[in-house]
Structure 1
Amino acid sequence: MTVGLATPAFAQTLPNHTDPSARELLPSVTPIPAIRFLTTADFPPFNFRDGGGELIGFNIDLARRICAEVDVACTIQAWPWEQVADALADNQGDALIAGLALTPENGERFDFTATYLALPGRFVTRLEDAERFDPAQLADRTVAVRSGSAHATFMQRYLPDVATRAFPTEIEALEALKAGTADAFFGDAMRASFWINENLGCCGFAGEPYFRPALFGEGLAVAVPAGQDAVRQAIDWALVRLQDNGTLDELYLRWFPVGFY
């Protein structure tokens, strides 16, 4: 059985989703005095409050680096998740950096920058099985998945001959792998990376990352009010600069100790 599913990943591959053509976009064509970022405080490790109440996370650091690159003033304000999109639509901010899904419905309300981080699916196995892992050899194995997830759908669609065992949560599915009641896990690589970081002596990623936007989503991008091209282009330009100068790699390695690419 041949499974041609993904873009290859080599060792500690770092994310690179920025559009090189954005280098030609000069934000100074339409100057912007500041970028008012909106976010939430309930999406660790992207945007959340630490023990002292300070807003921190990958997205928070990225927003500040974007403003520094464009050389404009920057504010970051946290809103409840159920209100933050409406706040952006009501001009309470210039950009939303909080993992808003790139759905057709949101596309009618907002414009989006280039994706700055995709969230692939990945297999996790016990360490002794990781080096020789081959998805084509899973026919007599059991793969743990979260019940009803897009990753369970992926297994049914692309590896229908592989037995899967569904669990209510990803953590329970990963714990089944650790306990030996499943031979592998397939699910969201970002969330799995934090579990692996707590179980380094047991398990690790195996094989390649699988990018399937139709199933796993387009990834993370910054939303701006529709028609606000100056802000969107400034952010896209900054993202390319931050990729080129290594800042995006630095932030990725800081916030994701076990890389999921």
Structure 2
Amino acid sequence: MPHLTAPLSHVTVRAAWTGCAIAAGLAVVLAFGSAQAQTPARPAVEAAPQAVPGFWDPRRRPDRPDLSRLTVIRFLTETDYPPFNFTGPDGNPAGFNVDLARSLCDEIKVTCTIQMRRFETLVDAITSNRGDAIIASLAVTPQLRARLDFTDPYYRAPARFVSRRDAVMPEVRPEYLEGKKIGVIAGTSHEAYLKAMFTDAEIKSYANDDTLRLALRRSEVDFIFGDAIALAFWINGTDSGECCAFSGGPFVESRYFGEGIGIGVRKGNDLLRQSLNWALFRIWEKGRFTDLWLRYFSISPF
């Protein structure tokens, strides 16, 4: 996927999210699974309600900038990456990123527009002043920092282990997986992390998500390791056949899994960047970010 540090295809996420929606009767699901894995005593049941992850430190409250200097914010997002961005039934932009942008506009009390564009055109559109801010699950990387400035992360793309439901582990450490077979997509940051940290496990690399997940369903591997957001949708979707669940908690090492997902603005546009940071903190502090997160994510990737 072009947005996050670890590759994840639009088709994979879209199909998984659609499966979740069908399984839920196309309703919004508001219950989370546990961020820590289920206990072995009850492998088929999520252990406890999941707290929505917080990406802000309450001790680091950002200063309120001079919001009166903002007259309009032209948000740019992409066209087809559900549930983050997609075209709604009314033909208008919809999704987690779109609703977050609208919440930011409400908090700042400024007029905003939201335009959908192909993902590969977004950065050029900002640098040529055809928009003010990109909110499209854009991963913060050194390469992009050379072209854009970014807000603080508003979510991250952690890595997680998934096992069959009868073999869930509440905690995963390298020593716990000695001799275990772990499946992973070849050529990803997830594979690199396993090879560096889980040296006593047997790592089996696969070409794509379908073959990786099938290997777990067939018990050809003990665990699979990958992008937690995509895996959360798969676990809760019809394609998984309710076979599997998260084991252990999230892995978020920035060296392998990136700095997080931020809103990109033109270089030097400190007023807008600081205003968005202030508004993001306020939305989180008021609980609106939690409400929004629960609206779109039925199983937490964290």
1:25 is paired with a residue whose SS is coil
Cα–Cα, structure 1 residues 153 and 103, in superposed 2: closer, same or farther, change >3 Å?
same
Give the Å deviation of 1:200.
Answer: 6.6
2:146 is paired with a residue whose SS is helix
- Aligned match of 2:261: 220
Tell me which of 111, 118, 124 is aligned to 1:86: 124
1:98 is paired with a residue whose SS is strand
| RMSD of aligned residue pairs (Cα, Å) | 1.8
- Aligned match of 1:142: 181
Which stretch of the first structure deviates more once superposed, 25-34 or 120-129? 25-34
Q: Quick check: 1:123 aligned with 2:152?
A: no
TM-score by length of 1: 0.90
Q: Distance in 2 between matches of 1:173 and 1:46?
A: 24
Q: Which runs of 5+ in 1 are unaligned?
A: 1-8
Give the Å deviation of 1:126.
Answer: 1.0
Which stretch of the first structure deviates more once superposed, 94-103 or 80-89? 94-103
Cα–Cα, structure 1 residues 257 and 200, in superposed 2: closer, same or farther, change >3 Å?
farther
Q: Is the 8 A contact 2:163 2:216 kept in 1?
A: yes
* Percent identity over paired residues: 38
Q: Distance in 2 between matches of 1:186 and 1:48?
A: 27
Q: Is the 8 A contact 2:161 2:225 kept in 1?
A: yes
Report the residue type matching 2:158 in the other structure.
P
Deviations 1:171-198 (A, max 9, x none): 3212211121111111000010010011
Give the Å deviation of 1:52.
Answer: 5.3
Q: Distance in 2 between matches of 1:91 and 1:22?
A: 31
Give the Å deviation of 1:139.
Answer: 1.5
Q: Distance in 2 between matches of 1:18 and 1:228?
A: 22
Q: Is the 8 A contact 2:137 2:262 kept in 1?
A: yes
- Aligned match of 1:207: 248
Q: Is the 8 A contact 2:171 2:249 kept in 1?
A: no
Q: Quick check: 1:236 aligned with 2:277?
A: yes
Tell me which of 200, 207, 226 is aligned to 1:187: 226
- Aligned match of 1:4: none
Q: Distance in 2 between matches of 1:132 and 1:21?
A: 30
2:53 is paired with a residue whose SS is coil
Report the residue type matching 2:226 in the other structure.
G
Which stretch of the first structure deviates more once superposed, 97-106 or 37-46? 97-106
TM-score by length of 2: 0.79
Give the Å deviation of 1:219.
Answer: 1.5
Q: Is the 8 A contact 2:67 2:275 kept in 1?
A: no
Number of corresponding residues? 253
1:35 is paired with a residue whose SS is strand
Which stretch of the first structure deviates more once superposed, 66-75 or 29-38? 29-38
Q: Is the 8 A contact 1:171 1:195 kept in 2?
A: no
